[in-house]
Amino acid sequence: MSNGTSTSDESRDLESASSDGQDDRSRVQTSEPKGGPDENGKPPSSDGDGTQFKVDDPLFSQRKGIFQNKEMVRVGWVPDGDRIVGRDGYISTISSCLNDAVYGGAPNHISITGKTGTGKSLVSRYVTRRAVNASVEDIRIGHTYLDCSKSSTEVQVISTIGQQLNDEDIYDEDEDIVKMPDTGLPKDKFYKRLWQILDHYDSAIIILDEVDLLKSDHVLMSLAKAVESNDTSCQIGIIAISNQINFFDELNPRTKSAFQTQELNFDPYNANQIQEILRGRDDAFRDGVLTDDVIPLAAAFSAQEHGDARKAMRLFRTAGELADREGSDVVGEDHVRSAQDTLEKDRFRDFLQGTPTQMKAACLSISAKSLCSRDDYVITGELYDAYQQITNAIDMDTIGIRRFRDILDEMQLSQVIETKEVNMGKGGGRHNSHRLLHNPETILDIVMEDTRFREISKSSLKRFA
Ligand SMILES: Nc1ncnc2c1ncn2[C@@H]1O[C@H](COP(=O)(O)OP(=O)(O)OP(=O)(O)O)[C@@H](O)[C@H]1O
């Protein structure tokens, strides 16, 4: 199998792999000792500016790490086609939509929906890269990838696309170099500069990931109509990606009429496909370090969440990092379980960050219930009782049942809980009943990080349930 390339513009992935694909430990190992011996007779090294350091510095391990090429298990790494599993049909449809760009013609716009971790970004970036490489002589294809969760206003989108495409000196009609700042210009000037930059290309493929997070869809219309409006001669093809299945139906009608797309919906993976995806990256690890259980277990955890390859890749990488950190020579089942726990905590911490204290108290109440009761589902009234006891115990304001229901709705939307309606039988009526989708211990650990909840110990929770 051949290695793919990484793209520098990966923005959603916060993991810190080094850009050359080597982890930091292997770089320490390759430092060549220079200069005279130290007080123990060992040769000292220099970091190039004359600072001396010892090769056997106890801060750093001299052992070989778990990874051979950690970059390959970074979520944003774009592999070659032989490592892409089960996406041939989508690859073929997207490539036919982009085909005209290869000759400098107009690519078709594409809208892609699908659950998280179904390969939408990967396949879009992979096919775009193939199209750019396949362009016929003298045809220039510009390509950009933009994460709209980071660039969500119209100006941010325009300036980011302009900056990414402005990779060499482009001159305007007055022979001045076109510069694309982040801010400080009226909107029409941003657009003018973008059109000048785009004129430099025959066609451009613009990937807008998380497009539902755009503050306004006007920018989609402007880009889609740019040639028709004589703003630029560059033929633009937009690949717009969203997790929200209805996003494209809900566009403003004017945008929808300008932005006609080939629609694709990516299916989730099954556990076997996830295993295959991970096996396609096992050479990220050194030979023989992965025990047999690692890939099936990581795939099973990810398959529980609709077959999310993003989660699988994170588990795979984090398990390796944990093994590396504890100085283990192998990655085992325990590392995958700990990775699952770490990632779940991170995810829950992200969710709770910035939410009101009331949300934390509500989370605590359902965690207490699910720790102490054999019944998976708890009706709203019982949860509210537990919540009230908790807020009273720590002398916190208590919200009314209506607002509490809103909080439960929010928890359901964020997939912290699952809610169903239950019929309590004759005279009992119908009630909403809720089930925690996470490990209650994990949630307790995170909620307890907030000092206001510290006085409630884990052991005392039972009395609230
Ligand atoms: N078919 C596949 N073959 C190999 N690797 C894959 C495949 N699908 C996804 N991956 C890997 O899984 C991870 C997540 O994929 P990707 O980011 O493309 O998903 P996504 O659908 O765009 O997710 P999100 O909606 O969360 O952005 C990446 O590391 C990607 O390389």
CA of 310 to the centre of ligand 1 (A): 5
**Ligand 1 centroid vs 122 CA: distance in angstroms?**
5
State the pLDDT at residue 431: 86
Residue 271's closest CA among 315, 295, 305, 307?
307
Task: Please tell me the predicted confidence (pLDDT) of residue 18.
Answer: 34
Helices (H), 326-462: 333-352, 357-372, 380-393, 401-413, 440-447
**Closest approach atom of ligand 1 to CA 84:** 3
* Contacts (Cβ under 8 Å, ≥6 apart) of 131: 95, 98, 99, 101, 102, 107, 141, 143, 205
- Give the residues of the chain that fall short of pLDDT 70: 1-56, 60-63, 374-375, 426, 458-459, 465
Give binding residues as ranges: 118-122, 269, 281
**Cα torsion through 21, 25, 29, 35, rounded to 10:** 110
pLDDT at residue number 440:
86
Pocket lined around ligand 1, Cβ cut-off 6 Å:
75, 83-87, 114, 116-122, 243, 277, 280, 309-310, 313
Q: Which residues of 183-218 are buried (b: 16+ CB within 10 A; e: fewer)?
A: eebeeeebbbbbbbbbebbbbbbbbbbbbbbbeebe
CA dihedral 194, 240, 256, 156 (to 10 degrees): -40
Cα(133) to ligand 1 centroid in Å equals: 22
**Cα dist from 208 to 67, 111, 185, 239, 386, whole Å:** 32, 10, 23, 6, 44
ipTM of the complex, rounded to two decimals: 0.98
pLDDT of residue 50: 56
* Ligand 1 centroid, distance to 164 Cα (angstroms): 23
| Ligand 1 closest atom vs CA 77 | 31
Distance 17 CA to ligand 1 centre (A): 17
List domains and CATH numbers for the chain: 86-266 (3.40.50.300), 354-464 (1.10.10.10)
For 169, other C-beta atoms within 10 Å of its C-beta total: 8
> What pLDDT score was predicted for residue 36?
44
Of all atoms in ligand 1, which is nearest to the CA of residue 280? 4
Give dist(CA 289, CA 286) in Å, integer. 6
| Burial tier of 20 (Cβ tally within 10 Å: 0-12, 13-18, 19+) | exposed
> Which of 69, 87, 122 is the best mutation target for the ligand 1 pocket, counting ligand atoms within 8 Å of the beta carbon and taking the most?
122
**Inter-residue contact 316 to 278 (CB < 8 Å):** yes
